[in-house]
Amino acid sequence: MAFSSTIDARPHVMGDMVMITGTYDGTGATAGTVDLTGLLSSIVAAGANGDLPGSGAGVDGVFVALPAAAPTSLALDFISGATGSWWALGRRS
């Protein structure tokens, strides 16, 4: 199975900012991208939480990057089989 993600249909609006939330399933994958191009013009902050307990050593959690080449996407990196939730705060498109 490959990486998959969902986007919650109810965004949280705060002035000109929008909080988008969703889930991810990394069964059989160790990375994936969530494309928010149609919802945000730029991302200010983002994060993710994994459902699997980590060791606390910084090697088996979920990590989020905001790629410079794709400023409205989240790049998630995690251990194989991880599932969880993600969030992004950005400007409306």
At CA 73, angle to CA 70 and CA 75, rounded to 5?
A: 100
User: Global pTM?
Assistant: 0.85
Amino acid, res. 6: T
In sequence order, the 6+-apart residues with CB closer than 8 A to the CB of 65 are: 74, 75, 77
Count: domains in the chain? 1
CATH code for the domain in which residue 17 is found: 2.60.40.3940
Residue 89 has pLDDT above 70, yes or no: yes
Q: pLDDT tens for residues 9-48?
A: 988 888 889 999 999 998 888 899 999 999 999 999 999 9
| Residue 91 in tokens | 């400007």
Q: Domain containing 37: what range?
A: 4-92
Q: pLDDT tens for residues 59-77?
A: 677 889 999 888 899 999 9
